Structure 1
Amino acid sequence: MKRAIGILGGTFDPIHLGHLQPALEAMQTLQLASLRLMPNHIPPHRPQPVATSNQRLAMVKLAAEDLTSVTVDDRELRRLTPSYTIDTLIELRSELPDTPLCFLMGMDSLLGLPNWHRWQELTEYAHLVVAVRPGWQPELSCELAEFVATHQIDSPLAVHQQLGGHLIWLHNQPRALSATELRTRLAQGDSLDGLVPQKVADYIRQQGIYRPAVL
């Protein structure tokens, strides 16, 4: 069996250090072979993106350029249908039959998991790695609490021992940052220094994305 890889999906509108920092910490903690950044095309559970698909893909590629073992997977952007995670994981499992998959998510995503399409099947194809985020406590519904209790384990490195099935709590350094906040800052003319990779900030400025007229 090969070493596990990480999958980080998201709208990335724009991608920022609140996305990247926990993912890179997960790579280190779990000793992942690589990380794939996967921008959504039509996110079924949240408002539609402000930036175009091509702009969001360009920003994610710029963010990954200087990161070791981090690549970009644009499969969801090439779909004409909503981006259901279960469909992506089924595809990846078919392509990587001997590689454990670690799907990275925040606590807010975990709490909304019962609203996801075929959510209880996710662990049949991957491990779930949940990063603690500021302001979120694990107050789980009965259904979700049962799911977590069934799948959670204490040893992060156990993700390398089977293809999927586990839930890992990643106790990362919290970073309170959201794409909504960044879009508001941009509309107000504020700097994004230290909040997004410099190449991404330069691209946003050059393209004129998130100007007040488009918010």
Structure 2
Amino acid sequence: MALADPAVPRLGVFGGAFDPPHLAHVALVQAALAQLQLSELRIFPTGQAWHKARRLSAAEDRLAMAHLAFDGIAGARVDERETLRPGPTYTLDTLRELKREQPLAQPVLIVGADQALALPSWHGFEEILAIAIISVANRAQATGSSGPFDPGVLPNLPSGARFEPLELPSMDVSATDIRARAARGEALGGLVPPAVARYIDKHLLYRSA
């Protein structure tokens, strides 16, 4: 990856349900700060997720867990604005707001490879790509599996779209599995940060799932 212009601050943007935030999320944040030359990484728990069929946990619980997971990471900051915004949460709205607040900064939107493949279905796809560099998280793959994300597979890709790789270790962790384990009252050690595990246990989250 080419060196970033030091005169242009690079603002990382990482959104998600964080229901709950888990150790793969933490590893991604740490890798992004180490690899992407970011001046700051903002973490955005979503408000109303337009693309998710299931109902998310209460925003106050997801925000509390996000703070427990990420507040101790230097350079990372949980941004609560999407949970306060009425209506469906769209990444484009957040990027527009960030550009108004920091017009000289270059947003770097961090997504997983599966999200990158779905980008053409996102609200304001072309404007998102005009505003932000897209950093695609590639997990270490087993031999014989598909390679890193190739932007050329996206249909109607606007000219000038910018993509950067983010390399992650292979981690078999999913929020769906964690919620199922919590619903059964199982221990969550090695899956979520200890403070998040304690919060889930104290507040009996996911027990009725």
**Coarse TM-score class (shorter-chain normalised):** 0.7 to 0.9
1:65-214 equivalences in 2 (<5 Å): 65-133=71-139, 144=154, 147=157, 150=159, 165-211=161-207, 213=208
Distance across 1 between alignment mates of 2:152 and 2:127: 18
Q: Distance in 1 between matches of 2:59 and 2:42?
A: 17
Q: Secondary structure at the match of 1:92?
A: helix
Percent of pairs with identical residues = 36
Give the aligned partner of residue 58 of structure 1. 64
Deviation, 1:143, is: 6.7
- What is the distance in 2 between the residues matched to 1:191 and 1:94? 44
- CA shift, 1:124, in A, is 1.6
Matched AA of 2:65:
M
Quick one: structure 1 residues 146 and 50, their matched pair in 2 at CA, closer, same or farther if it must change by over 3 Å?
A: closer
Alignment check: 8 A CA contact 1:5 1:102 kept = yes
Shift of 1:75: 0.8
Kindly provide the CA deviation profile for residues 53-72 of structure 1, in whole angstroms up to 9, marking residues without a partner as x: 11101111111221111111
**Higher strand fraction (1 or 2):** 2
What's the CA shift for 1:3? Answer: 2.2
**What letter matches 2:102 in structure 1?**
L
| 1:42–1:48 CA contact under 8 A, matched in 2 | no
TM-score, normalised on structure 1? 0.84
Which amino acid in the other structure matches residue 166 of structure 1? R
Q: Unaligned 5+ residue runs, structure 2?
A: 1-6
SS at match of 2:154: helix
**Further displaced range: 87-96 or 30-39:** 30-39
Distance verdict in 2 for CA 1:194–1:128, change over 3 Å: same
Residues 13/136 of structure 1: CA separation in 2 closer, same or farther (3 Å cut): farther
Maintained 8 Å contact 1:7/1:36: yes
Matched AA of 2:106: P
* 1:117 alignment partner, SS class: coil
Which residue does the alignment assign to 1:156?
Answer: none
Cα distance, 1:141–1:105 mapped onto 2, change above 3 Å: closer
| TM-score, normalised via structure 2 length | 0.86
Match of 1:14 in 2: 20
User: RMSD of the TM alignment (CA)?
Assistant: 2.2
- Provide the aligned length of Structure 1 versus Structure 2: 199
Q: CA deviation at 1:81?
A: 1.0
For residues 192 and 119 of structure 1, what CA distance do their matches in structure 2 show? 36
Show the counterpart of 2:50.
44
Matched residue SS, 2:48: coil
Q: In structure 2, what is the equivalent of residue 154 of structure 1?
A: none
Moved more, 63-72 or 88-97: 63-72
Q: Describe the superposition over 1:128-176 as per-residue Cα deviations: whole angstroms up to 9, x where unpaired.
A: 100014677668797715628x55xxxxxxxxxxxxx521122221222
Mind listing any 5+ residue stretches in structure 1 that lack a counterpart?
A: 152-164
